[in-house]
Amino acid sequence: MISIIVAVSDDWGIGSKNELLWHIPEDMKRFRKLTMGNTVIMGKKTWESLPKRPLAGRRNIVLTDIPGEVVNGSDTAYSIEDAIGKSGNDGEVFIIGGGTIYRQFMEVADRLYITHVHRNAPADVYFPVPDPGRWEIVESNDFVTDDENRLPYSYVIYERKKG
């Protein structure tokens, strides 16, 4: 099972200047809970953006195009196929970004955990909009953050349509 996990703005922005667009502690806790004990796959820019790396309690696979480069603290992979092979193919494997990696894994992913953050924010990296002909919503829950901004967001799970 290959799952993408991402938080997007209303216009599908996911990052700016190699940082996230918001800080939603509840969403970070959910990310940790879902990914804990599993393998996470990310691009090198997302790896470099992590405040603490590797992500504890998870196998961290980092993609780079640079032949022979070893990203210290991770299992380094050099192609999408290499990353999938190194993930061992058991349990749920989480694709955790960023934009280039999401785009490439959309073709092979089975499930999308998308946190829709209901605001528009200036971004320089975007998530590819899921094609409604290929993806169906299987779960959706709405929340509002507790902070003074009252930032509304929804957890939406999409699964690839069968057939």
Ligand X SMILES: NC(=O)c1ccc[n+]([C@@H]2O[C@H](COP(=O)([O-])OP(=O)(O)OC[C@H]3O[C@@H](n4cnc5c(N)ncnc54)[C@H](OP(=O)(O)O)[C@@H]3O)[C@@H](O)[C@H]2O)c1
Query: Which residues of this protein are in contact with ligand X, per CB under 6 A?
Result: 6-7, 14-16, 18-20, 42-46, 49, 63-66, 78-80, 96-101, 104, 125
* CB of 71 vs ligand X, minimal distance in Å: 8
Q: Which residues partner with 41 through β-bridges?
A: 61, 95
Reported as type and span, the H/E element at residue 121 is none
Q: Which is nearer to ligand X, 67 or 163 (CB)?
A: 67
* CB of 57 vs ligand X, minimal distance in Å: 18
Tell me the C-alpha distance between 55 and 45, whole Å. Answer: 14
Q: Which is nearer to ligand X, 48 or 139 (CB)?
A: 48
Which has the closest alpha carbon to 107: 61, 160, 158?
Answer: 160
Q: Which is nearer to ligand X, 16 or 89 (CB)?
A: 16
* CB of 31 vs ligand X, minimal distance in Å: 8
Q: Which residues partner with 116 through β-bridges?
A: 8, 154
